[in-house]
Amino acid sequence: MKLGEIVLLKTSHKGKIREFITSVSDEKFHSDFGMIEMSELLEKSEGETVVSHMGQTFVIQLPRMPDFFRHAKRTGTPIMPKDIGMILGYTGLNKNDTVLDAGTGSGILAMYLGSIAKRVLSFEVRDDFAEVARENIRRAGLDNVEVRCGNIVDEVKELDEKFDIVTLDTIDSATIVPYIPSILNPGGFLVTYSPFLEQTALIRKAIAEIDFFEVRTIECIERAMSFSDRGTRPSTSRVGHTGYITIARL
């Protein structure tokens, strides 16, 4: 591992997985399971182990986006991985894409987008939320995701840059739709996410006023399966309703 590299330290305690995200440094890392000299990781690779002064063994992994999702500090309701999967799948986001995102919230969607795209510019109306998102993004090591504090309704009128994808997760997304053709590259995608059908209907109405292609609104339902000695069936605890995703291509 290299100095400054972000790592996931995983251990098993009383049948439960406990994990921590930290970085390789010349300092000590403290947890309930003892202290680890982080400089020891300089001699190690992913998959190897490190032992705390209390004798607890940790496996070293490189964190990926689902790990950052679990560990991110939350200011509100983030978009869930199932919905992010739909957004990535239907837009085909790639490494050359630039993305405009709002509102940032905890920065979860912005981080997933930034882990693939060339650049993400995200607007968050609340200063304190923007600060938390910046910290989540910094911890994920993403220097291509910029969070600006501002109201997207106003900011969208001032932008002199075009994007390949625009993602909107705000109450007022419908009011931003009329400005999309001036900031979206030809062939680009508008994606909106809304927990309510009423908001989604307003978004669809605004989209209908513009010459978009391939407009679709979808809801993604996740159903985990449960396996036990008694039998196999859909899990009785499940991810409930999250939101409706509307995707339109210019």
Ligand X SMILES: C[S@@+](CC[C@H](N)C(=O)[O-])C[C@H]1O[C@@H](n2cnc3c(N)ncnc32)[C@H](O)[C@@H]1O
Query: Nearest residue by C-beta to ligand X?
Result: 103
Rounded to whole angstroms, how far apart are CA atoms 190 and 163?
10
228 is in an annotated binding site: no
Identify the three-state secondary structure at position 79: coil
Strands 163-168 and 28-31: unpaired
221 is in an annotated binding site: no
Is residue 76 reached through a cis peptide bond, with omega within 30 degrees of 0 on the bond before it? no
CB of 244 to ligand X, least distance (A): 13
Closest CB to ligand X among residues 76, 141: 76
108 is in an annotated binding site: yes
CB of 163 to ligand X, least distance (A): 16
Closest CB to ligand X among residues 126, 249: 126
Strands 184-194 and 163-168: parallel
Rounded to whole angstroms, how far apart are CA atoms 29 and 235?
37
5 is in an annotated binding site: no
Residue 143 tokens read as 């220097």
Instruction: Please give the single-letter amino acid code of residue 63.
Output: P
124 is in an annotated binding site: yes
Closest CB to ligand X among residues 19, 131: 131
106 is in an annotated binding site: yes
Closest CB to ligand X among residues 59, 220: 220
CA 120 to chain centre: 12
Rounded to whole angstroms, how far apart are CA atoms 20 and 2?
18
CB of 105 to ligand X, least distance (A): 3
Distances (CA, A) of 95 to 39, 62, 86, 164: 33, 21, 17, 11
Rounded to whole angstroms, how far apart are CA atoms 156 and 52?
50
CB of 107 to ligand X, least distance (A): 6
CB of 217 to ligand X, least distance (A): 17
Q: Provide the binding-site residues for ligand X, judged by CB under 6 A.
A: 75-79, 102-103, 105-109, 123-126, 129, 151-153, 169-172
Closest CB to ligand X among residues 51, 218: 218
Annotated binding site for S-adenosyl-L-methionine: 106-109, 124, 169
Annotated binding site: 106-109, 124, 169
